[in-house]
C-alpha cells in the first residue's frame, strides 16, 4: 500500500509542475523555486522535531506526513523518482548503519 500511495502522490506532483501557480499549492511552490521548497522542508522538519519532543503520537504522524510530502515535492522538482529513494533504502537494508556510513566515505 505505501508504495502505491507514494507513486500516486508522485504522479500528482509531476502534474502540478505544469499547473497554474494560482490553482495549486504545489504549483506555487514549484513556481517560487528551490529555495521556497527547501524552506518548507526546514519548517516541516522543525515541526516534526517539536511534535516528537511533545510526545503526541498523532501530532508526530501529522508532521511527519507534512515533512515527507514536502520532501517528495523536492524530489519531483529535481526529477528524482520515488523509486530511486526506495532503491537506495533497499540497498542499505541488511547493512549496519556503521557499515553504510563507512561505505560512503570510501566513495
- Cα 2 to Cα 100: distance, rounded to the nearest angstrom: 24
Lowest mean pLDDT among 14-18, 52-56, 103-107: 103-107
Using left for φ > 0, alpha for ψ between -120 and 50, and beta otherwise, residue 55 falls in left
- Cα 56 to Cα 48: distance, rounded to the nearest angstrom: 11
pLDDT in tens, 7-40: 999 999 999 999 999 999 999 999 999 999 999 9
5 alpha-carbon distance from chain centroid: 13
Q: Assess whether pLDDT exceeds 60 at residue 100.
A: no
Calculate the average pLDDT of the chain. Answer: 91
Where does the pLDDT of residue 93 fall: very low under 50, low under 70, confident under 90, or very high at 90 and above?
confident
The label of the residue with cell 566515505 reads 105
C-beta atoms surrounding 93 within 10 Å: 8
Amino acid at each position: 500500500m505505501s508504495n502505491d500511495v507514494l507513486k500516486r502522490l508522485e504522479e500528482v506532483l509531476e502534474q502540478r509542475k505544469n499547473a497554474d501557480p494560482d490553482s495549486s499549492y504545489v504549483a506555487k511552490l514549484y513556481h517560487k523555486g528551490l529555495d521556497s521548497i527547501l524552506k518548507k522542508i526546514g519548517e516541516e522538519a522543525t515541526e516534526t522535531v517539536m511534535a516528537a519532543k511533545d510526545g503526541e503520537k498523532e501530532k508526530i504522524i501529522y508532521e511527519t506526513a507534512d515533512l515527507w510530502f514536502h520532501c517528495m515535492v523536492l524530489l519531483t522538482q529535481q526529477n528524482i523518482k520515488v523509486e530511486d529513494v526506495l532503491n537506495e533504502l533497499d540497498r542499505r537494508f541488511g547493512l549496519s548503519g556503521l557499515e553504510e556510513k563507512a561505505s560512503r566515505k570510501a566513495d
